[in-house]
Structure 1
Amino acid sequence: MVTAPERLLLRLEWQVLRRLDGRLNGAYRTHHRGGGVDLAGLREYVDTDDARRIDWSATARVGETLVREYNEDRDLTVWLVLDRSGSMGVGAEGRTKRDVLTELALLLARLFARPGNRVGAVLYDGAAARVVTTGTGRAQALRIGRELLRETRVVTTTTDLAGMLESVAVPARRRALVVVISDFIGSGPWTRPLAMLAYRHDVVALRIVDAADGAIPDVGLLVVEDAETGEQVLVDASDPVFRAGMSSAVAARDAEVSGVLRHVAVPLHQIRTDQDLVDALVRLVAATRWRR
C-alpha cells in the first residue's frame, strides 16, 4: 500500500525532480584543494602553507620543500530546520506556507541524499522540536515526509525563533549545511543564536511568504485571528489609520528579518507560495554549491 508521504514524493519526483535533473549538474568532488583524505599530489611549499602538510620524505628525496595537496571531501551532512508553527498555515487551500515547506523539505532531502550525503531534520512547532536523525537515500526523504505529515499539537504562543535555531545545535555536532525553512514570524531576540549557528555551520535561510501575510481586505468590521496564538480581535479594516499601521508593521518585520540575516552573513532566499519550485531550487542549489 502506497502511503501519503510516498504519494507526495512520487508526485514531486515526477513533476519537479525530472525537470531539475537537466538543470543541475556537477559532482561533489572539486578541483579545489582542501583538507580531505584523497591525495591529489605534491607542490612546492610557500610561506602561507600549513607546515603540518609538508611531506618530509619527498622533501628529502628532491632537495626542496614539498607539501601534500588533497582533493576536498565533497560529502555533506545536511540539516533541515523546519518551522511547523501556526503562522505556516496561512495561504490558499492546498497551497499554504506549510504545504510549500513540506514539498521543499522532501525535495531537498531527496536531492541532497542522492549522492550519499547524510540528511537530518528538526521539526519545530513553535515551542518544541522533533528530531529526525541523519540518514541517506530515498528512504530518508520518506522518513522526513512521514514526520511532516503527522498531526502536531496546537501551540498557542508566538514562535520562539531563538529556540528554533538553537534546536539544531545539539543534533548537528559536526560541521554541516543547515537549511532553515520558515516564514520567520515570531518573537524574541534571535540574532545571537543565528550568529552562533552560522559560526559553526554553513547556514542558508529559505523564507516562505504568502500574499495574505500582511493583506487585510477593505471590508469594514472584521474579526482578525492571530495565526500563532489564536487570539481574535475585532478591527475596522476600512480605517486608513489601521491599514497604514498594518503596512508599517509588515514592512518593519520584513526589514528586521532581512537585516538580521544580512548582519550575520546568512544567504536569504525568499520563496512565494505561488512560485515555481524548480526555479527556486535551481537558484538555491547553485548558491549552496558555491558556498560549499
Structure 2
Amino acid sequence: MSQAGLSAPLPSAENARAEAVLSRLQLLVTRKLDGLLQGDYVGLLPGPGSEAGESREYRPGDDVRRMDWPVTARTTLPHVRRTVADRELETWLAVDLSASLDFGTARWLKRDLVIAAATAVAHLTVRGGNRIGAVVGTGSGASQETPTGFWRRRRAAAAAAPDRQPPVVRLPARPGRKEAQGLLRAIARTHIRPGRTDLGALIDMLNRPPRRRGVAVVISDFLAPVDSWARPVRKLAVRHDVLAVEVVDPRELELPDVGVLSLADPETGALHEVQTSDPELRRRYAEAAGRQRAGIAGALRSAGAAHLRLRTDTDWLLDIVRFVAAQRHARTRGTTR
C-alpha cells in the first residue's frame, strides 16, 4: 500500500494534529541530537563493525580479538584497533499502534512517543546511504458497542472516512532523508483502530523475507502477553541488532488517589469503576504493574535486545541521548551492549 493510502482515513482535524506533532518532534530531535551526539559515524546500536578506525591503548575489559599487533610492537604498549559501524545498513521499524497507545495522562500521548522514537531512529540512522523501512500495526479493527459517547464518536468518524488500511501496513525501506520524512509522515497519520495488534506477528514480519544483518527496532507498550512476542524477538536478535522501545504512561504503573475513577479499555471499550481511595488497592495495583514491567524487561534481556523505556511524564529526549551515549561508551570499552 502506498503512503498516501495509509494516511487517507484520518479526519482533517486529526491529520492537522499529526502534522503539528511530527513537526514539533522533528525540531526537538534535530536540535537535541545534533547538539549532543555529534561525532564519527558509529550507528544507533554500535556493534563491532567491519571498517577499521584508529588505534588506542588497551584498557581492561577491551576485546583482545581487536588487538592491533603492529602498533603494539612499535610502541611496546598494547593497543586495540577501533572499528566503526558498517555503512549502507538497513533499519526496519516494527511500530505498534494498537488502541492502547492512544492514551496519555502526562505531557504526551503514548502514540506521540511512538512517533518520537521513530523520528529519533530515522535521524540517527539515515546517513551514508542507509535505508529505513517500517511495518505498522494498527489494531484488529474490531470494535464493540459501549455506552460512552467517546466510542460513538470514534465509530462515527470511522464511518465518515472509510477505513481502507489493513491491520498491518508495510512501508518499503528506502535511502535518503526525503524518503525517511515520508515514512515518518505516514506513521504519524496512521489511524488507530479499536483492538490490539498481534505484536508477535508484527515482529515476525521483520524476519520475512530474510535480510542481511541490520538494525531492527520494535516500538510498543508491550502490554500484550509476553509469551506472544518473546520468541519472535529472540528469533529476530539471531540475525539483527534489536532495539526494543517500551512506551509507558505513569498511570499504568500506579493509580492516583482521586476517589471513584471510571476507566475505559481503549482496545475493547469495556468500562470499569475503581475506588482509588483504597490504599490496599493502589498498593496491589502498583505491585502487579511492577511485576508486569519486570517480566517485559526480563524477556527483552533474555532475547538479547537493547531496551529503552520512554515515559510520557519525563524528558524522553534526554532518555534517548543517555541511551545512545551509553551504547557508544560500551562500544569503546570493547563490548556491544
Q: Against the structure 1 CA distance between its residues 250 and 27, is the aligned structure 2 distance closer, same or farther, given a 3 Å change threshold?
A: same
* Matches of 1:7 and 1:244, distance apart in 2: 39
Matching residue of 2:163? none
Residue 175 of structure 2 corresponds to residue 161 of structure 1: no
Offset from partner CA, 1:134-169 (integer Å, 9 cap, x none): 01222122222222232425233x453322322322
Deviation at 1:23, TM superposition (A): 2.2
Q: Which has the larger radius of gyration?
A: 1
* Matches of 1:84 and 1:196, distance apart in 2: 22
Partner amino acid, structure 2, of 1:191: A
CA-atom RMSD in angstroms: 3.2
TM-score, with normalisation over the residues of structure 1?
Answer: 0.75
Q: Against the structure 1 CA distance between its residues 245 and 274, is the aligned structure 2 distance closer, same or farther, given a 3 Å change threshold?
A: closer
Point out where structure 1 has 5 or more consecutive residues left out of the alignment.
39-48, 50-69
Aligned pairs for 1:13-32 (under 5 A) are: 13-24=26-37, 25-28=39-42
Matching residue of 1:119? 132
Aligned residues: 257
Q: Which has the higher contact order (CA 8 A, sep 6+)?
A: 2
Point out where structure 2 has 5 or more consecutive residues left out of the alignment.
1-14, 53-64, 66-82, 141-166
Matching residue of 1:67? none
From the two aligned structures, give the one with the greater strand fraction. 1
TM-score, with normalisation over the residues of structure 2?
Answer: 0.66
Q: Is the 8 A contact 1:97 1:210 kept in 2?
A: yes
Q: Against the structure 1 CA distance between its residues 251 and 33, is the aligned structure 2 distance closer, same or farther, given a 3 Å change threshold?
A: closer
Matching residue of 1:175? 213
Partner amino acid, structure 2, of 1:238: S
Deviation at 1:283, TM superposition (A): 3.0
Q: Is the 8 A contact 2:96 2:220 kept in 1?
A: yes
SS of alignment partner, residue 91 of structure 1:
coil
Aligned pairs for 1:243-254 (under 5 A) are: 243-254=282-293
SS of alignment partner, residue 206 of structure 2:
coil
Q: Is the 8 A contact 2:226 2:299 kept in 1?
A: no
Matching residue of 1:76? 89
Matching residue of 2:113? 100
* Matches of 1:101 and 1:168, distance apart in 2: 18
SS of alignment partner, residue 181 of structure 1:
strand
Offset from partner CA, 1:230-273 (integer Å, 9 cap, x none): 21122322234432332222111111101101112212111122
Deviation at 1:117, TM superposition (A): 0.8
SS of alignment partner, residue 95 of structure 1:
coil
* Matches of 1:240 and 1:71, distance apart in 2: 53
Q: Against the structure 1 CA distance between its residues 152 and 23, is the aligned structure 2 distance closer, same or farther, given a 3 Å change threshold?
A: same
Matching residue of 2:58? none
* Matches of 1:88 and 1:203, distance apart in 2: 21
